[in-house]
Structure 1
Amino acid sequence: MSDIRNELVKAAINRAITSIDFNIYDDIHKIHEFKKQIILADKSLTSDEKTYAIKDLNKTYDKNKIKYNSGTKRVCENCNKECLATLYCEYCVQNYLKANFSNWTSGNNDIDNLIQKCQIETLKPDTIIEWIPYNNLQNIEYLTK
């Protein structure tokens, strides 16, 4: 894959978003397809950049399908549940996190409960809140004492 010009890709995605006529594209599925077509027609992007932008749009689309409980469901090949996301299974992500609840603790029940609540409600596997033990941190820079 060639070098991706991130600023140009972001600008193209923003142009696609600001071009949406919500009177015509009135649901998340129509909006997603419209944004994809705008990206594919963008002559300023290389083929690799278009692919990169579409992947980014698909991540947002998966999150929105789960958030609004809208879209065609598929059967997950791992857990056999019907899920909305196409890039992952929201149930497998949540079940994985639940299964690991007993493998970590912050030492504070309130913090543990908050982190677990956030994990159960997660919509995307790349935005998971996790506890990182202090001894796992590296190159700590103290800003105050």
Structure 2
Amino acid sequence: MKAPAISLLAGLLFGAGLAVSGMADPARVRAFLDLFGAWDPMLAFVMAGALMPMTIAWLVQQRMPRPIACEAFDLPGTGLLDAKLLLGAILFGIGWGIGGLCPGPALADLAIAPSEAGIFVVAMLAGMTAHRITRG
């Protein structure tokens, strides 16, 4: 029971952070990505501000023998850049630029602007399903 409560708390904290920072506002995201127009650097400061707590979290994690709510850490490995990763990153960037949303903010926006975010979430889920069906 401890892990679901921690997961819920982490998700609520993440969603609140997205909303407060403006990362869940598609117009602000598009303005951040508009480097040659009306560029808004606000999200660059948000991302830079996230580096310090994440650095601390990695340092704490390295000293922990195991997580608080699980048996072991499940950390991604490192690998080489390949065509699938590059294509995925390009598609993600295009989608982020067009929609002004990515998965986390889109889910958070379901509570703020459900009709607009809902379209994005349905398209995102369709893409995830298509990937699952076609992956090799």
Q: Which has the higher helix share?
A: 2
For the criterion TM > 0.5, the same-fold answer is no
For the superposition of Structure 1 and Structure 2, which TM-score range results when normalised by the shorter chain?
A: under 0.3
TM value normalised by structure 2: 0.26
Q: Which has the higher contact order (CA 8 A, sep 6+)?
A: 2
